[in-house]
Amino acid sequence: MAMLEFKNVTKRFGGLTAVGNVDFTVDDDNIVGLIGPNGAGKTTIFNLITGVYKVTEGNIIFQGNEITNKEPYLIAQCGITRTFQNIRLFKKLTVYENVLTACHYNGNYNIVETFLRLPKCRKEERKLKGQTEELLEIMGLMDRKEMIADNLPYGLQRRLEIARALALNPQLLLLDEPAAGMNPDETEQLMSLISYIREKFGVSVLIIDHHMDLVMGICEKIVVLNFGCKLAEGTPSEIQGNSKVVEAYLGVEG
Ligand SMILES: Nc1ncnc2c1ncn2[C@@H]1O[C@H](COP(=O)(O)OP(=O)(O)OP(=O)(O)O)[C@@H](O)[C@H]1O
């Protein structure tokens, strides 16, 4: 069974069809790429999956359950988390605090236990601090843990955002242009990291990116959008050899 089924989904903004009757699936343990020219509807699809935008027509099914038009916090609770094209962090908090606050979402203690500093609360706090350090280690951020997030180099801010998304223990991670602004070396390191994250956390990943080497290098499947419609779907080699895709991206000689 597919982890995520995006079934004949349409999103209209007034007269503009941003996503028109698009369908695709994301299987367990898969990395799927969503590519297409600017304005093709990629981020709108992320906003529909996460409940930020309401679907006009169609259905979104996650692990067999209908999540169409549910509230974003309920969808996050189901196990879908995301990063954003324009990075969203607590800019004035440290790197460590950014991840710890996200880990607290999974904390299993209440306000009374916290106030009274009961043993259960102290044990939970130790567990969350351990989780935070493990995530910082994996993301290569441990040596910057006391740095204010806003002062981190751009590429590391993107890694920090992924760490925060992973702190919520997702089953499906949505990454919106994680390599934006990165140089080729950083992009290559990020590719290895995303593959490692899939193995380590057993998550599926849906990724939007314009770096073709990244998308072609790590995805099992690629979905290509153009003007809100699905133009093609297939393995990286199928997509690279698809004449419609080459035409949409590169244009044809007149
Ligand atoms: N809230 C909104 N209101 C009106 N139109 C919107 C809204 N959000 C997106 N759109 C429109 O929907 C279309 C698809 O936009 P979207 O941001 O999904 O494209 P994209 O493929 O992610 O592009 P990019 O690669 O530039 O980020 C665009 O024409 C955009 O202007």
**pLDDT tens across 222-243, in order?**
999 999 999 999 999 999 999 9
* Residue bearing the bigger pLDDT, 122 or 93: 93
Ligand 1 atom 8 nearest Cα: 44
Position 213 scores a pLDDT of 87
Q: For residue 85, which atom of ligand 1 is closest to its CA?
A: 27
Q: For residue 11, which atom of ligand 1 is closest to its CA?
A: 12
20 Cβ inside 6 Å of ligand 1: no
Q: How far is the CA of 29 from the centre of ligand 1 (A)?
A: 28
Question: Is the pLDDT at 35 greater than 90, yes or no?
Answer: yes
**pLDDT tens across 38-84, in order?**
999 999 999 999 999 999 999 999 999 999 999 999 999 999 999 98
ipTM: 0.96
Position 254 scores a pLDDT of 44
170 Cβ inside 6 Å of ligand 1: no
Percent of the chain, pLDDT > 70?
92
CA distance 203 to 19: 26
243 Cβ inside 6 Å of ligand 1: no
CA angle 139, 148, 162 (to 5 degrees): 30
Domains of the chain, first to last: 1-79+170-253 (3.40.50.300), 87-169 (3.40.50.300)
pTM of the full structure: 0.91
